Structure formats: structure tokens, C-alpha cells
Amino acid sequence: MFGFEPAGEVKDYGKLKTAPVILLHANGQTLQGDLFEINKEIYNNPTVFDFKNRHHFNPGNFIDQAEFGESVATFINKIWNPKQLQVA
């Protein structure tokens, strides 16, 4: 999607915990041509946006006001009182 091709094997490094690492390669000339085509598609074929039906990912999965308020309060309290932060 971003124009990169794998150029190595997937490796695991202990310092990165569970994040796998892979060497990627991108050809600048190919990317320039791809970007031109993408821009042409975007600007020559505008999309009709359906704002009324956007962001209906999972309407049943929400955080109620009390829980949200507690989480925000906890976050702000940790910023204002950094001694309370725990080292993982």
C-alpha cells in the first residue's frame, strides 16, 4: 500500500518486546509514478461522502458517561501527580 517491498526476513528483537521487524525497500521513481496516479484518481474522480452513515462501527460498544469521566479524571490525576505513575 505504501510502495515498500520486503527485503529481508521477519526478525524479533527482545528490546522491542513483541514487535516484529522487517527490512523494507522502496524505489523512489516507482513511488513518484504511483503518487501521480493516486493524485490523478483523487482529484479527477471525487467521491460522494455519505456523512449521515459514517462512523457506525459498533453502536452497541460505547463507554458510558460515568466510566469515561473516571478514566479522564484518572489520566489527568496521573499527569498532575507524576509520583503516582507506576513503572512497568
Q: Chain-wide mean pLDDT for the chain?
A: 76
In the structure grid, which three cell numbers stand for residue 41, read together? 484518481
Mean of the pLDDT values across residues 74-83?
A: 76
Residue at 18: amino acid letter: T
59-69: per-residue pLDDT in tens? Answer: 666 667 777 77
pLDDT band at 9 (very low <50, low <70, confident <90, very high): very high
Task: Report domain extents, the chain.
Answer: 5-84
Question: Is pLDDT at 23 greater than 80 in this prediction?
Answer: yes
Using left for φ > 0, alpha for ψ between -120 and 50, and beta otherwise, residue 55 falls in left
Q: Return the exposure string of 45-83: e unless at least 16 CB atoms fall within 10 Å of the residue's CB, then b.
A: eeeeeeeeeeeeeeeeeeeeeeeeeeeeeeeeeeeeeee
